[in-house]
Structure 1
């Protein structure tokens, strides 16, 4: 989503506008050879923010995968999709974010032609896999809401694992056009530089590719997810299990099932909304950059695109926070995995549980005494 060409063009324009000595890039090029390129605030601020994103994202997503793999009760269909989502975030954070961060302090691309193609390809793969995984999660929640009984037969961890594998295969296939257009280009900014950027045979090819990326990695998944949740909203309020002869246990089972599924569905909705909000700005900016005929890169557009990239990268670190706050099963599993962190809370909880049990026994005993007294 972000090439070194954008950074070069934008900082070049800033320096041209702010320096009387460098009114044009082509003029006095020989005089610029020995000068140091300007070191902007973004050169350390953005990499610092990316480092924070990496730290939070790697720790959080690793814990999510560890908890799901460690506890058998966590190996559900939904949690397999969540683990797949965490895996895409980890790969994205490790293989893409550090290389993007180097574009800010360094004047050009230093990692060679292979890494130029590979990093861009892997970034597209992980974003595509995230989109399809979110779509699969939404479809899964829609299926279990609309067809609760039929879903018991088909929603298994094995099916979720097979779907996840297919998601990765499909993401690799859909991302192959990156190899054709991503390359090293020679440029000049305070000396000859190399830049990793997309180069197309024509403007038509460029617009077609940008539109393809927008539809495949954003618009189509968002529309599909919206359709799934529209069906779910129509289903909300209808009982999942029909009560039989006012059976109290069946009523309780129905209410508990609806409550659990509602909480899981709300968590998935929040995750999808976060993805839509975080990735929306960069997707629409790239679309605007390609299709607006009067677009000219400058320091203002550079700052907007930098903010949009920070938003999209931050998405990989916020999902585990959502699981921790909204996922009751994740909270319980975290407490089991790291009891020393929740020792005080667990002790208070167990004490409250013992108190509640004692009160129940006391009420039951008084009830029995009353029945015996009146000969009931």
Structure 2
């Protein structure tokens, strides 16, 4: 969500306290003697852009690898992985088109990119956040469907359906984000001289609260509630065999357990991705609600630091998903190793030995059952 109150806002910086406040006040008086329009340069002016640069580096490399691996290996083109690729695409667009512009808000005293970019960046940020929410909801619904209706899902869960759903997600996200274009604009202000700020401007406080509540419901609360409902259905289903064994057939029973195990691992990965989204985006969503609806809210340096931390948390979400795939997605691990064998030579050698050992154990079990049968 593109926040309406910029980090350099004078109302927040006028309430500075602590060591940085003393430094900035001293710096302010010294600078005003030399140049009356020189603004104070706080620690976050370089620290936050540095953190954003790290997020961009990790996020762009990780999400690009995810898309590359899915497109390169045919066995990776599953319905779930199409949603994961769509999620990676939203993260890349967000990192490229939004994060650099937000990073400039901290070292610079005003918005320097003009009115068009003010609207475009805010709109695109809202679109990508909305698309992320709906994609996570679709992934959770997909996992719920395959868990509750395993046989029906074989007919309907196809990569083509996932691609169509992904296209609809983007169309819906563009439509739901259009109100941003009406309210985001360049506003004149004053902080150590006349400044231009890119922020939301509403006709009234009622309009502002209605719009913030709409954003909170559409881009956070409704998706989280829908996802929670999906997983509550899944919890009831987990543990029940997908294929009922007939006459205690060993192979059918083993296949049923294996299917449940694989689907359980994929579902756990999706749960972790959804939880990370809720945790990373929750603080900024709650802070903006508090800022708009709490009658006694007064901006100061403490609220500024909280808001900066909450923004960093939300932006970090775009770089953590590929790490989750690497640690929890067995198919992603195998595909990464195939794509970049020079990085996994030792591990590939170990896994091949483990595979040979497993095959030997399977042959031993098969021979054992044959001897027992005769």
TM score, norm. by length of structure 2: 0.92
| Count of residues paired in the alignment | 365
SS in 2 for 1:168: helix
Aligned-pair CA distance for 1:353: 3.4
CA distance in 1, matches of 2:122, 2:294: 24
The alignment status of 1:229 with 2:234, answered yes or no, reads: no
- The offset of 1:315, in angstroms, is 0.4
Alignment correspondent of 1:82: 84
**Shift of residue 31, structure 1, vs aligned partner:** 7.6
- Specify which of 271, 277, 280 is matched with residue 279 of structure 2: 277
CA distance in 1, matches of 2:292, 2:235: 37
Unaligned runs of 5+ in 2: none
Q: Which whole-Å CA distance do the structure 2 matches of 1:131 and 1:353 have between them?
A: 39
Equivalent residue in structure 1 for 2:297, among 289, 295, 298 = 295
What residue number does 1:65 align with?
67
- Which residue number in structure 2 is paired with residue 2 of structure 1? 3
* SS of structure 2 residue aligned to 1:225: helix
Instruction: Pick the aligned partner of 1:111 from 113, 124, 127.
Output: 113
Task: Summarize the Cα distance change of 1:358–1:285 in structure 2 as closer, same or farther, 3 Å threshold.
Answer: closer
Output the CA distance in 2 between the equivalents of 1:300 and 1:275. Answer: 25
Gap regions ≥5 residues in structure 1: 24-29
Q: Secondary structure at the match of 2:15?
A: helix
Q: Is the 8 A contact 1:32 1:190 kept in 2?
A: no
- TM-superposed CA distance for 1:346, in Å, is 1.1
Deviates more, 1:354-363 or 1:219-228: 354-363
Equivalent in 44, 47, 59 of residue 45 of structure 1 = 47
Is 1:217 matched with 2:214?
Answer: no
Q: In the TM superposition, what whole-angstrom CA distance separates every residue of 1:17-72 from its partner, at most 9, and x where no partner exists? A: 7548979xxxxxx9896342110000000000000000000000000000000000
Looking at structure 2, the residues matched to 272 and 173 of structure 1 have their Cα atoms a distance apart, in angstroms, of 23
Q: 1:327 to 1:36 in 2, by over 3 A?
A: same
- Alignment equivalent of 1:262, drawn from 264, 267, 271: 264
Does structure 2 conserve the Cα–Cα contact (< 8 Å) formed by 1:57 and 1:93? yes
Using the alignment, how far apart are the partners of 1:356 and 1:268 within structure 2? 28
Q: What is residue 26 of structure 1 aligned with on the other side?
A: none
Q: Does 1:192 align with 2:168?
A: no
- 1 CA distance for matches of 2:183 and 2:295? 21
Aligned counterpart, 1:27: none
Q: Could you tell me how far apart the structure 2 residues matched to 1:365 and 1:249 are?
A: 15
Q: Aligned-residue CA RMSD in angstroms?
A: 2.3
Residues 8, 351 of structure 1: alpha-carbon distance in 2 compared, 3 angstrom cutoff: same
Contact 2:7 2:106 in 1 (8 A): no
Partner of 1:93: 95
Partner of 2:166: 164
Contact 1:32 1:191 in 2 (8 A): no
Deviation larger for 85-94 or 345-354:
345-354
Q: Does the aligned pair in 2 maintain the 1:2–1:100 contact within 8 Å? A: no
- Provide Cα deviations, 1:192-231, integer angstroms capped at 9, x if missing partner: 1100000000000000000000000000000000000000
Shift in Å, 1:154: 0.4
Q: Secondary structure at the match of 1:197?
A: strand
Relative to structure 1, the CA distance from residue 344 to residue 255 in structure 2 (aligned partners, 3 Å threshold; closer, same or farther) is same
Deviation at 1:143, TM superposition (A): 0.5
In 1, are the aligned partners of 2:187 and 2:196 still within 8 Å (CA)? yes
Q: Is the 1:69–1:75 contact (alpha carbons within 8 Å) kept by the matching residues of 2?
A: yes
CA contact (8 A) 1:58 1:90 kept: yes
Return 30-39 or 175-184, whichever deviates more. 30-39
Specify whether residues 349 and 190 from structure 1 end up closer, same or farther in structure 2 by C-alpha distance, changes over 3 A only. same
| 2: CA distance, partners of 1:104 / 1:187 | 16
SS in 1 for 2:187: strand
Could you say if the C-alpha distance between residues 225 and 22 of structure 1 is closer, same or farther in structure 2, counting changes exceeding 3 Å?
same
Matched, 1:134 2:108: no
- Answer with 267-276 or 30-39: which moved more: 30-39
Find the partner of 1:335 among 325, 330, 337. 337
Please say if residues 128 and 216 of structure 1, whose CA atoms lie closer than 8 Å, have aligned partners that are also in contact.
yes
Determine if contact 1:335/1:341 at 8 Å carries over to the other structure: yes
Deviation (angstroms), 1:347: 1.4
Contact kept? 1:7, 1:302, Cα under 8 Å: no
Give, in angstroms, the shift of residue 2 of structure 1: 2.7
